Amino acid sequence: MKSHALAASKADPMIVTIQQHILHEQRKHSPHATGSFSWLLSGITLATKMTEARVRRAGLLDVIGSAGGINVQGEVQQKLDVYADQALVHCLGVRENVAIIASEESEEAITFDGRDGPGKYVVVFDPLDGSSNIDVNVSVGTIFSILGLPEGAKSSDDPSIACLQPGIKQLAAGYVVYGSSTIMVYTTGHGVHGFTLDPSFGAYVLSHENIRMPEQGNYYSSNDAYWDTFPKPYQDYLSHLRSGGMGRRYALRYIGSLVADFHRTLLRGGVFLYPPTDKNPEGKLRLLYEANPVAFIAEQAGGRACSGTQRIMEIEPTEIHQRTPLIVGGKSEMEALEQFVTPRRIAPSLAG
């Protein structure tokens, strides 16, 4: 049988790009798909490649652009998160199937006028999460969540309303970690897959197919500096992890970039938690474009994600930048959490 031009030879394993993968997944799960979704996702992958190129040169940009803020290319020096935001707004803005976007960088949701026909999708994102870490070369990332435009939505409506959907309505979610390598991880509800950017030819190539979160890991990830302001049930839970209560001693890993801390949790297992604190009694992380996409990916990989009082993906949003506590991890760690952190103990009023 004539081998396929791309057929993997022993020495040269088949290269599957993220575009090929998305189209294959669409044909497998939605035979009548028009390719509209993969066109949208290509806008996100392009914007993250633009961002990646800047993140890789961050220190140089600072040096080059420090004289009055104009760099050698004649560009006005931009903060990287502003650049990342503008890259996503531009690349999604030219996708006619995108109706509304909401960004961590913009107070209001954005609609795209003057199109022939309404868009079908709503995209919410954090263009560069953890950007304060860039100056010290710590991994940062982009996080996104894709929703459908609600039935009956009118262009005259407040665009924020279309964004206010619970996480169970997500059509897709993903993140990019700009780390020792650049990896994009995404789900459309049919498993979780990772693609590493090959800088030699600028494509995201399948490197982690069907990622599964280990049932139990060895790490907990939390900012221990806030220990004394965590509600006691969280302190008891962390003491349980630290004292060998889970049958093994846990080590602490905390990078301070959600995408990096979650990516390690996804691959190695364990638990990441950002509980309520005195400074952020509602939690620090954003529901729509941090907790929801992370929760979708975690659940698709066999893990779980909750706010301490409910499943993250069942929270009904009331405003686009609302915050939530986030605990996300493997099956064992999340089952153990329920012994300590329950609605009755965390929010007695909620428990009725």
Closest to ligand P6P by CB, 120 or 268: 268
229 binds ligand P6P (CB under 6 A): no
CB 159 within 8 A of CB 149: no
Residue 105 interacts with ligand P6P (CB under 6 A)?
A: no
Please report whether residue 307 would count as binding ligand P6P according to CB under 6 A: no
Taking the C-alpha atoms of residue 196 and residue 49, their distance in angstroms, rounded to an integer, is: 11
252 is a contact residue toward ligand P6P (CB under 6 A): no
User: Contact region for ligand P6P (CB under 6 A) — 73-81, 94-102, 127-135, 341-349?
Assistant: 127-135
| Backbone phi, psi, residue 23, to 5° | -65, -40
Residue 130 interacts with ligand P6P (CB under 6 A): yes or no: yes
CA distance 308 to 338: 9
Binding residues with ligand P6P: total (CB under 6 A): 9
Q: Is 129 in the site for ligand P6P (CB under 6 A)?
A: yes
Looking at the Cβ atoms of 165 and 257, the one nearer to ligand P6P is: 257
Nearest alpha-carbon partner for 250 in 263, 228, 268, 234: 268
- Counting contacts by CB under 6 A, is residue 223 touching ligand P6P? yes
Considering only residues 308-327, where is the footprint of ligand P6P by CB under 6 A? none
Give yes or no for residue 257 binding ligand P6P (CB under 6 A): yes
Asked if 258 touches ligand P6P (CB under 6 A), the answer is yes
* Alpha helices by DSSP H, 138-196: 159-163
The DSSP bridge partners found for residue 63 are: none
Nearest approach, Cβ of 146 to ligand P6P (angstroms)? 20
Is 191 a residue that touches ligand P6P (CB under 6 A)? no
We find the least distance from the C-beta atom of residue 206 to ligand P6P, in angstroms, to be 26
Position among 284, 291, 294, 308 found at the interface with ligand P6P (CB under 6 A): 284
Going by C-alpha positions, the residue among 290, 337, 286 that lies closest to residue 309 is 337
Tokens standing for residue 171: 């059509």
Amino acid 219 reads Y
Helix (H) or strand (E) holding 86: helix 80-93
Closer residue to ligand P6P, CB minimum distance, 159 or 325 = 325
Q: Say if CB 23 and CB 35 are below 8 A apart.
A: yes
Stretch that binds ligand P6P, among 29-37, 52-60, 250-258, 341-349 (CB under 6 A): 250-258
Shorter beta-carbon distance to ligand P6P: residue 49 or 284: 284
Residue 193 or 284: the one with the smaller Cβ distance to ligand P6P is 284
E-assigned strand segments in the chain: 98-103, 110-111, 121-129, 140-148, 172-178, 182-187, 192-198, 203-208, 219-221, 251-252, 271-274, 285-286, 304-306, 323-324, 326-329
Please report, as ranges, the residues that interact with ligand P6P according to CB under 6 A. 129-130, 132, 223, 256-258, 261, 284
